[in-house]
């Protein structure tokens, strides 16, 4: 998924840690551990939804970053060719 490492990965790690802490405390239905787990999970899900809705923009940003690298423009043009030559089923 484009944008995972930039936008979602840190939220995933935080939500996973909060879940494990919540589970280690006996999965309480109320209290600070439950609240923290719910909030971090919500932030993670929101970040995933944002990446899914902006997938084309994230791909374009990645291509632009690749072009500004200027060390190897061949990889940039190969990626462009792969994106534009896909068959629509």
3-state secondary structure at position 71: coil
Task: Give the predicted TM-score (pTM) of the model.
Answer: 0.67
Domain residue ranges in the chain: 1-53, 55-89
Q: What is the pLDDT of residues 22-77, one digit of tens each?
A: 999 999 999 999 999 999 999 999 999 988 888 888 778 877 777 777 676 777 77
Q: Which of 19, 64, 61 is nearest to 42 (CA)?
A: 19
């Amino acid at each position: 998924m484009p944008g995972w490492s930039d936008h979602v990965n840190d939220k995933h790690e935080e939500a996973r840690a909060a879940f494990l802490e919540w589970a280690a405390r006996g999965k309480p239905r109320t209290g600070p551990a439950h609240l923290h787990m719910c909030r971090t999970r919500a932030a993670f899900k929101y970040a995933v939804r944002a990446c899914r809705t902006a997938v084309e923009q994230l791909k374009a940003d990645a291509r632009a970053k690749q072009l500004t690298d200027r060390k190897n423009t061949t990889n940039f043009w190969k990626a462009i060719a792969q994106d534009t030559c896909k068959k629509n089923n």
